[in-house]
């Protein structure tokens, strides 16, 4: 297409005013088609001239980057994230070519992970500017890490039976033999034997501790049998918060419930779901040593319900964030590090998902989504009278 315009340019002095007008209209049409294409691409594209001034930023780039877009402005003044402008300066001033650099940024209060590539635009062996493309890989990365966690858990589950056999059986045997030793020692009258009883007590305690670790571990990874019944998460949350109310008051934590009144019932095992909520509430409480605000909210989006448990506590460092669902990961002196492993497992068994968003020094938000099953979904979608409702319900059960 550009060849056509180049040829037309060489013959410009031979064209009539009307032909020039037609040429211009056609060029404008081409440009707007190009702009539509660029604005429809789900990747951010920035184009700079050789002096690093912005020539173009498509819609997606303006959405993904915190920026104040003005055509012709220097790239570093248009982009408002210091970390990203430093990266652009480093790369562009050195005429580097960078592919898929991953950079964190905050967009409207949410952490996003961007993959940014910078390529020099070369024409006739001369750098005439640069092309920058930006992809939002936040969801992709969190899907990958969820998958990794699920795989880790699956392999741990397979190991669990072996661990039970390998550790619990010898522990049982050690415990029995310690008791036999104590009985035998009780019959002896030798004075020197006195301290031995104390040593055996210590050994007994240690065996008991190891036994607890193994039992907790197995509980966290063993396949669980859910007894699914229709229930309302709001009721469960209200009951539980009533139950922990006094403790929260003592810890100077205000509990705020933002429950969606039209939340549909879901199929769940209440015992396990209570455990999930309690573990998350306890963790939030521990994170707010000096008191704070615990907000528990529910909502209903498409065919799932969402529960968010948000605290204003110490937050979780980025390094730790990747590990919190792993068995035994704890930063607490007396923690088992199995609480969130169990939470993760229970939610997965309910075909749900759990994600976490946290900022050090600000707080943490755990968000759970649970599916509304076909039957409940059909009931929600139905707008008719109660007789019709009963018919739909009956039909759904068949
Ligand atoms: N709301 C939160 N705020 C800050 N850190 C958290 C929060 N929830 C979890 N964590 C971090 O994740 C770690 C693992 O949590 P998990 O519930 O699995 O174990 P734990 O709380 O340490 O031990 P236990 O549950 O046995 O008391 C915690 O030690 C803590 O560092
Ligand atoms: Mg815990």
pLDDT tens-digit series, residues 179-193: 999 888 888 777 677
- Ligand 2: distance of its center to the CA of 318 in Å? 18
The owner of tokens 């000096």 is 290
pLDDT reported for residue 383: 41
Structural contact between residues 92 and 118, judged by C-beta atoms closer than 8 angstroms: yes
Backbone angles phi, psi at 166, to 5 degrees: -70, -35
Separation CA 64–CA 87 (nearest Å): 16
pLDDT class for 398, splitting at 50, 70, 90? very low
Nearest residue CA, atom 24 of ligand 1? 335
| Any atom of ligand 1 within 6 Å of the Cβ of 284 | yes
Q: Please state the length of the chain.
A: 398
Q: Tokens at residue 54, please?
A: 């912005």
Separation CA 109–CA 86 (nearest Å): 21
Element (H, E) at 395: helix 386-397
- Choice among 188-197, 225-234, 237-246, 272-281 with the minimum mean pLDDT: 188-197
**Other C-beta atoms within 10 Å of 350: how many?**
20
| Any atom of ligand 1 within 6 Å of the Cβ of 281 | no
Is residue 240 scored above 70 in pLDDT?
A: yes
pLDDT tens-digit series, residues 311-351: 999 999 989 998 898 878 899 998 888 899 889 989 989 99
Structural contact between residues 367 and 325, judged by C-beta atoms closer than 8 angstroms: no
Burial track 299-313 (b if 16+ CB lie within 10 A, e otherwise)? bbeeebbbbbbbbbb
Separation CA 82–CA 65 (nearest Å): 11
DSSP summary character for residue 372? P
**Other C-beta atoms within 10 Å of 367: how many?**
16
Structural contact between residues 49 and 128, judged by C-beta atoms closer than 8 angstroms: yes
- Looking at residues 258-263, what average pLDDT do you find? 95
> Which ligand minimizes its atom distance to the CA of 331?
1
Separation CA 355–CA 363 (nearest Å): 14
**Ligand 1 pocket check: which of 324, 347, 360, 367 to mutate, most ligand atoms within 8 Å of Cβ?**
324
pLDDT tens-digit series, residues 91-134: 988 878 899 999 988 887 788 999 999 999 988 888 899 999 99
Is residue 397 scored above 50 in pLDDT?
A: no
| Any atom of ligand 1 within 6 Å of the Cβ of 328 | no
| Any atom of ligand 1 within 6 Å of the Cβ of 292 | no
| Any atom of ligand 1 within 6 Å of the Cβ of 364 | yes
Question: Which numbered atom of ligand 1 lies nearest the CA of 340?
Answer: 18
| Any atom of ligand 1 within 6 Å of the Cβ of 294 | no
- Looking at residues 361-378, what average pLDDT do you find? 83
Rounded alpha-carbon distances, angstroms, from residue 222 to 181, 190, 217, 226, 233: 34, 48, 8, 12, 25
Mean pLDDT of the chain: 86
Structural contact between residues 91 and 118, judged by C-beta atoms closer than 8 angstroms: yes
pLDDT reported for residue 71: 82
pLDDT reported for residue 255: 97
Beta strand pairing call for 54-57 and 44-49: antiparallel
């Amino acid at each position: 297409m550009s060849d056509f315009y180049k040829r037309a340019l060489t013959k410009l002095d031979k064209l009539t005013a009307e032909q020039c007008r037609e040429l211009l209209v056609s060029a404008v049409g081409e440009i707007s088609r190009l702009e539509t294409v660029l604005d429809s691409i789900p990747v951010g594209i920035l184009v700079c001239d050789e002096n690093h001034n912005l020539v173009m930023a498509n819609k997606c780039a303006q959405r993904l980057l915190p920026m104040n877009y003005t055509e012709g402005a220097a790239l570093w003044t248009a982009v408002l994230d210091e970390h990203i402008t430093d990266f652009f300066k480093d790369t562009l001033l050195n005429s580097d070519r960078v592919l898929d650099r991953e950079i964190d940024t905050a967009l409207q209060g949410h952490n996003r992970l961007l993959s940014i590539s910078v390529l020099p635009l070369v024409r006739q062996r001369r750098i005439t500017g640069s092309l920058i493309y930006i992809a939002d890989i936040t969801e992709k990365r969190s899907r990958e890490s969820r998958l990794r966690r699920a795989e880790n858990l699956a392999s741990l589950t397979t190991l669990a039976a072996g661990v039970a056999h390998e550790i619990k059986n010898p522990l049982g045997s050690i415990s029995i033999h310690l008791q036999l030793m104590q009985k035998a020692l009780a019959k002896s009258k030798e004075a020197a034997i006195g301290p031995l009883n104390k040593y055996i007590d210590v050994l007994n305690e240690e065996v008991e501790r190891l036994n607890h670790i193994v039992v907790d571990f197995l509980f966290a990874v063993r396949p669980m049998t859910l007894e699914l019944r229709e229930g309302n998460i709001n009721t469960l949350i209200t009951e539980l918060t009533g139950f922990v109310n006094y403790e929260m008051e003592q810890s100077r934590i205000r509990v705020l419930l933002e429950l969606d009144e039209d939340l549909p019932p879901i199929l769940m095992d209440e015992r396990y779901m209570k455990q999930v909520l309690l573990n998350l509430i306890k963790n939030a409480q521990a994170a707010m040593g000096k008191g704070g605000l615990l907000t528990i909210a529910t909502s209903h989006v498409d065919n799932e319900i969402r529960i968010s448990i948000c605290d204003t506590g110490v937050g979780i460092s980025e390094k730790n964030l990747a590990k919190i669902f792993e068995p035994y990961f704890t930063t607490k002196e007396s923690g088992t590090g199995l609480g969130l492993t169990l939470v993760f497992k229970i939610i997965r068994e309910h075909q749900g998902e759990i994600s976490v968003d946290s900022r050090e020094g600000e707080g943490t938000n755990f968000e759970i989504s649970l599916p509304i099953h076909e039957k409940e979904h059909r009931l929600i979608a139905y707008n008719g009278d109660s007789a019709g409702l009963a018919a739909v319900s009956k039909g759904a059960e068949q």
